[in-house]
Amino acid sequence: MARLIPSEVYNWIAGGEAPAASGETIAKLSPHNGRLLCRLARSGWDEVRAAVAAARAAQPAWAATPAVQRGYILHQVCNRLEQRAQEIAGIVAQETGKSLAEAKGETGGAIALGRFFAGEGQRLYGRTTTSGTANKYAMTVRVPCGVAGLIVAANTPIANVAWKLFPALICGNGVVLKAAEDTPATAWIVAKIAEEAGLPPGLCNVVQGLGPEAGAPLAERADIDVLSFTGSSRVGRWLAEVAGRRLLKISLELGGKNPLVVCDDADLEHAVKWAALSAFSNAGQRCASGSRLIVFEAVYDQFKQMLLDKARGLRLGPSDLDDLGPVINQRQMDNMLAAVQEAVGRGAVRLCGGRRASAPDLANGFYVQPTLLEGVDPEDPISVNELFGPIACLYKAVGFAEALELANRSPYGLTACIHTQSFDRALEFAHRVQAGVAVVNMGTYGSEPHMPFGGVKVSGNGTREPGTEALDIYSELKDIYLGVNPQVSPGGRP
């Protein structure tokens, strides 16, 4: 694949590229082979402050632009993204190590989401209602928050950018996007293309750098009006504390330790297919990945063998013929392999994987073999901590009640899935499982642009992105009351 990423990836501030004032950069390594891919600006407070100032200056004119016209401009942005989808997908593939086909699918999904929110410019509904007072009219309208700070994760980089950028813009906000340090070029190219397509300069700014140096100041010190974060629950807790002290509006989409239940009446071949996709696709780097596989005792041994055969046959690599790529960096790989070793030391049985790939063409990359464990206590750290890699644990349940109890025995509550042919089991599970998303006979992951996504417990703070519910994050409701004098004619005369 041709090189698509510049050797140095800068910030995008006020309509142009800007290096860090210090001149410092950070190495970004290819997850596929560990080689230097590019260097990104090591930004800090000075760059954050400049980006916020640019967004603050550009925002009033954007807010004054009718929402329908804002939507038209965002449609033009989507058109330009679509024209350059091959290039964008290539950047995503190079930064993440995933296959080009998977990157193309992710890019197409991001564009579809952008079109959905562009269309919402025609539907930024308020409401009119009655008043308890005579000769008084009541209504609500949506108004922008002002400047939105957006902090995204690296696992699905173009999708993560789109999920936050488009709803923030259609609501009339200026934006400062803190790019994930592992996928700096994806955010950079989106901002660049957006301005080429007609988005006003300064409205969408991208700050590169490390979370503690560039993300933390955006939350703690910057003059922003709303903050949206996708990432770990640990960082989310800290951001919630910071936002609470500032009374800053915040949206948190955090981690998951998602259960996939296989009942004794399930289509096992179908269940194995979806369990493998839930656990291992995107190298398990999904907040919605299926990392806890809860199987009825009656079919446990059969399901386990079928899933083992499936896992052992999965191909690792960056090509379209491969099933999963590398994890995003060395630190992530080392942490998850250590977690597996610690679980085995506490009595877990490693059924497959749990090691770094050793094939000569993969050995220098950050590839983790698809890993299945059994005999893990539901309270063990590997059962309750998100690993964000291709690692899943098998648990045995006597029946539906125990399976549901195991599914809910988690600090997280993002997604959950059940495989069954029973309408009663499926509906009961969907209602009683403690998760923001419940799925029947598919995988634990997946969302659509018009559907809200988010979790309960430590998987979030109750907000939802995308869907029209995301508009509640990036806009405020304003009440408007009109008092009229019925004795005055339209011409102003009694």
The pLDDT value given to residue 372: 98
**Binning pLDDT at 50, 70 and 90, where does residue 493 land?**
low
- Statement: residue 225 has pLDDT above 70: yes
Residues forming beta bridges with residue 373, ordered by sequence position: 350, 393
For 305-317, the pLDDT digits (tens) are 999 999 999 999 9
Tell whether omega for the bond before 466 is within 30 degrees of 0, i.e. cis. yes
The pLDDT value given to residue 37: 96
- Statement: residue 15 has pLDDT above 90: yes
For 119-177, the pLDDT digits (tens) are 999 999 999 999 999 999 999 999 999 999 999 999 999 999 999 999 999 999 999 99
- Evaluate whether 8-254+460-479 and 258-440 have a shared fold: no
Counting residues of the chain whose pLDDT is more than 70, the rounded percentage is: 98
Locate the domains of the chain by residue range. 8-254+460-479, 258-440
SS3 label, residue 197: coil
The pLDDT value given to residue 492: 56
The pLDDT value given to residue 353: 95
Among 219, 378, 186, 229, smallest CA distance to 292 is for: 378
The reply to whether 38 belongs to the active site is: no
Residue 142: is it exposed, middle or buried by C-beta count within 10 angstroms (0-12/13-18/19+)? middle
Q: What is the mean pLDDT of residues 219-226?
A: 96
The pLDDT value given to residue 447: 86
- Statement: residue 1 has pLDDT above 70: no
Give CA–CA dist 252/60, Å, rounded.
26
What amino acid occupies position 478? K
Helix (H) or strand (E) holding 12: strand 11-13
The pLDDT value given to residue 488: 67
Backbone dihedral region for residue 30 (phi beyond 0: left; psi -120 to 50: alpha; all else: beta): beta
CB 118 within 8 A of CB 451: no
- Statement: residue 489 has pLDDT above 90: no
Beta-sheet pairing, 36-41 with 25-29: antiparallel
Q: What is the mean pLDDT of residues 294-303?
A: 98
Among 178, 392, 387, smallest CA distance to 280 is for: 392
- Statement: residue 318 has pLDDT above 90: yes
The pLDDT value given to residue 446: 81
Give CA–CA dist 106/445, Å, rounded.
13
Find the catalytic residue in 106, 120, 195, 253.
Answer: 253
Q: What is the mean pLDDT of residues 384-396?
A: 96
Find the catalytic residue in 78, 145, 287, 393.
Answer: 287
The pLDDT value given to residue 263: 98
- Statement: residue 7 has pLDDT above 70: yes
**Binning pLDDT at 50, 70 and 90, where does residue 273 land?**
very high
Among 186, 263, 244, smallest CA distance to 4 is for: 186
Backbone dihedral region for residue 283 (phi beyond 0: left; psi -120 to 50: alpha; all else: beta): left
The backbone torsions φ and ψ at residue 147, rounded to the nearest 5 degrees and listed phi first, read -115, 130
Q: What is the DSSP letter of 187?
A: H
For 61-99, the pLDDT digits (tens) are 999 999 999 999 999 999 999 999 999 999 999 999 999
CATH topology of domain 8-254+460-479: Aldehyde Dehydrogenase; Chain A, domain 1 (3.40.605)
SS3 label, residue 182: coil
Residue 54: is it exposed, middle or buried by C-beta count within 10 angstroms (0-12/13-18/19+)? buried
Instruction: State the average pLDDT for the chain.
Output: 95
CB 191 within 8 A of CB 205: yes
Q: Please give the angle made by the CA atoms of 147, 152 and 156, to the nearest 5 degrees.
A: 140
**Count of alpha carbons within 13 angstroms of residue 482, beta-carbon side:** 9
The reply to whether 287 belongs to the active site is: yes
The pLDDT value given to residue 485: 86
Q: Which residue has the tokens 């990836």?
A: 9
- Statement: residue 322 has pLDDT above 80: yes
Q: How far is CA 263 from CA 29, 259, 399, 414, 417, in A?
A: 43, 13, 8, 21, 11
For 323-358, the pLDDT digits (tens) are 999 999 999 999 999 999 999 999 999 999 999 999
Does the domain at residues 258-440 carry the CATH identifier 1.20.58.220? no
